[in-house]
Amino acid sequence: MGVGSRRGLRFAALGTVLAVFALPAYADDPTPPPPASVTDVNKTLEQLQAEAAAVQADFAKATITYTNALKAAQTAEAAAKKAETAAAASKGKADAERKRLGLLTVQAYQTGIPTVMGAESMLWSLAPIAESLQEIADRQTAIQQLGSTQVSQYQTAMSAENAAGKAKSEATTKRAAANEAAGKAKQLSAEVQQKAADAALMMESQVADLDGASAVSKQLQLARNQQALARWQTYLTELATAKVKPPAAAVLKNPAKLPTGLLPFIDAGAPVAGAASVAQGGRTIRVLSAETIRAVNQAFSLLGKPYGVAATGPDSYGCLGAARVAWQPYTTLPNLVGKVYPNYQAVRPSQIQPGDLLLMGSKSLGLFHIGVALDSGEMIAADEAKGSVVVTRVPDNLYAALRPTLGKPVRAQVAPVATSDAYAFRCGNTATSYNVGTGSWMWPLAEGTYEIGTSFGQAGAMWATGVHTGQDFPAAVGTPVRAVTSGVVRVEHPAWAGNLVRIDHGNGLETLYGHLSSVDVADGAQVTAGQRIGAVGTEGNSTGPHLHFEVRLGGDAVNPMPFLATGSATVGWGGYSNGMIPASKLCALGSGHRLRCDAAAAYLQLARAYRAQFGKTLCITDSYRSYSAQVSLYARKPSLAALPGTSNHGWGVAVDMCGGVDRFGTAQYQWMKAHAAQFGWVHPSWADQGGSREEPWHWEFGKPAVS
């Protein structure tokens, strides 16, 4: 069944889903599993994004191959022309030396001086001057010269002839190589053009599907938000019915010293600090502090607010923004997730309560995301993938839970060192290229030893997350597996992978190699690109011999194919592929132009300041550029356009301008250089005058200051 057909069924199922969500919920009722349509739509989004990235990777790989072939053809053509020029010069020199020898031979013959050459050599030497015998004049002079020069001239002429023959042979060889390289480049050019056409066609279809799936997902997300709010409101109603006034946080810190009428709240077999309970009608009702209830209420009030990088409200919120606003004025969270961890008491994950701060991350990557806990394994967080503040599940990479009402930690809590790139990726920063380690990336298996298997994002019950988080490469057991780029090894043995090598490349980037039959590197070892780290196997949860290969950014699995094709990331903010961002995730500038919402807001502020200065509207010719549009532009202007799938236009954070800004030295351009950065817009150095590609019209949204 096609994507479009599946989407139609999901739309039909939406009414049923909403009807289920509208039913009353009770605090003690177990949360039912999400409807199948919710899971299916999310998988469809991921699958579409993975398919889009795979098309990009395929096109990028073909284009790079063509570009390399074109360079090789140009190099071969230059070498052939150089060799042909050298051969012509060598031939000219040989002819001159042979002609000179011929003159000497004729002189020797006319003067009767014996020649040391045989008849065949004499004929060879005479051939170039057969019509120039009259050039010989002074018999006496010839007699004097011939004796000393005839033999040496013969040797010189023969040497020049041999050199000319070699030069001609080399030129012929290089010309053949140049012709072959040109033919290969021509063939690859045709393939790239065909792939461009195929990619554009497929992308147009996928963009429509992605928008459709995104629309369904948006409705389901709204329903999920409403269901969580209904559960919370039911809890507040229970408190009110029991005539319980939420106490101050200070009196709930110690479960052994609670006010009269309150009992310890038991969770996971132990009393919970910061909470209490009351018994009514055979039911136990949890009692949270007034400050905690206020924080959760404020968090719910933010649902649906747009996501914005580093934004703290009131119109948009970044990773930390929602949690920060929720807990004000009781406490003001620091401006980085890593700085939050040392300041508040950590609690056991098994005893997480609504209002707790949930910190995501790991020891190797640092802390990079935060949410406000709810019940049922959910949290409220500003989510760049959803484009807003939403109710979402608590991810697997939960590092710690903090309870602000318990105050400072009993023991020092030291946050793992955060890498800026890991935080930037997870929180949707404007960085859209990624440090992929030192040196070029290699494929994990040698060419010709593998097939392309199950792709990233494919849905299925056999995977714990419901989707495939890597790219599979079926290959024979024992096939060497190599590191794709340099990094530090961690050897693990999880049940699903059997033998797993994880390589930390720094800045939040990791690669994983699973199901290995053998591991050939030590834990903690430093490896380089191409170094053997193990061999293909079928260990763990495997249906046959293959390598399961993953790329993770900031702890999140992303499609590996773009990395392998281009050596850089083409999965950016929100988890979307470059040029494959649904229209619902972008904001309008007017005249059909769109950008990522935080970039759009900053652009409109810039435009107002520009108008105040010049009395004219800031002129724009290009903004967000879809992948198919990038393919079309690259086909028309390959020397100017970025490789499709790598342009910042495809992330919705770049614009091309006109009206004077498009020319160096104008008053408009100089004003932009002086003032645009105040609004987060920068002119990249490569586009500056004297840069690698001068483009005064091109401006990009840079990282705003973190308050």
In tens, the pLDDT along 56-90 reads 677 777 777 777 787 888 888 999 899 899 989 98
Helix axes 139-241, 36-111, angle to 10 degrees: 170
Over residues 166-170, the mean pLDDT reads 89
pLDDT band at 703 (very low <50, low <70, confident <90, very high): low
Cα torsion 475, 645, 365, 505: sign: positive
Measured CA to CA in angstroms, residue 121 lies from 116, 158, 434 at distances of: 10, 10, 70
E strands in 164-323:
263-267, 270-280, 283-288
d(CA 362, CA 347): 17
d(CA 129, CA 133): 7
CATH number of 307-406: 3.90.1720.10
In tens, the pLDDT along 312-326 reads 888 888 888 999 999
Judged against a pLDDT cut of 90, whether residue 38 lies above it is answered with no
Judged against a pLDDT cut of 90, whether residue 482 lies above it is answered with yes
In tens, the pLDDT along 385-435 reads 677 899 998 887 799 999 999 999 989 999 887 665 555 555 554 445 555
The DSSP bridge partners found for residue 285 are 278
pLDDT band at 598 (very low <50, low <70, confident <90, very high): confident
d(CA 659, CA 657): 7
d(CA 27, CA 291): 20
The pTM assigned to this predicted structure is 0.66
Architecture in CATH of 458-566: Distorted Sandwich (2.70)
* DSSP sequence for 81-144: HHHHHHHHHHHHHHHHHHHHHHHHHHHHHHHT---SS-HHHHHHHHGGGTT-GGG---HHHHHH
- CATH 1.10.287 segments of the chain: 38-117+128-238
Which pLDDT does position 148 carry in this prediction?
55
Measured CA to CA in angstroms, residue 580 lies from 197, 442, 647 at distances of: 17, 26, 12
Q: Is 243 exposed, middle or buried (0-12, 13-18, 19+ CB in 10 A)?
A: exposed
Nearest 5°: the CA angle 214, 219, 221 is 90
Q: Which residues of 84-108 are buried (b: 16+ CB within 10 A; e: fewer)?
A: bebbeebbebbeebbbbbbbbbbbb
Over residues 41-46, the mean pLDDT reads 57
Q: Is 345 helix (H, G, I), strand (E, B) or coil?
A: strand
- CATH 3.90.1720.10 segments of the chain: 307-406
The DSSP bridge partners found for residue 357 are 372, 402
Q: Please state the separation of Cα 13 from the chain's center in Å.
A: 34
- CATH T-level topology, domain 583-701: Muramoyl-pentapeptide Carboxypeptidase; domain 2 (3.30.1380)
The phi, psi pair for 39, rounded to 5°, reads -60, -45
Helices (H) and strands (E) in the chain, counts: 12, 25
8 A C-beta contact, residue 633 and residue 668: no
d(CA 453, CA 472): 5
Tell me the CA end-to-end span of the chain in Å, nearest whole number. 49
Least confident of 5-14, 118-127, 351-360, 493-502: 5-14
- CATH 3.30.1380.10 segments of the chain: 583-701
d(CA 520, CA 704): 45
- CATH 2.70.70.10 segments of the chain: 458-566
H/E stretch holding 48 reads: helix 36-111
H/E stretch holding 381 reads: strand 378-383
In tens, the pLDDT along 607-649 reads 999 999 999 999 999 999 988 788 778 767 766 777 677 778 9
Architecture in CATH of 38-117+128-238: Orthogonal Bundle (1.10)
Q: In the chain, helix, strand, coil percent, each to 5?
A: 45, 20, 35
E strands in 384-419:
388-393, 398-403
Q: Name the pairing type of β-strands 518-519 and 532-535.
A: antiparallel
The phi, psi pair for 402, rounded to 5°, reads -120, 145
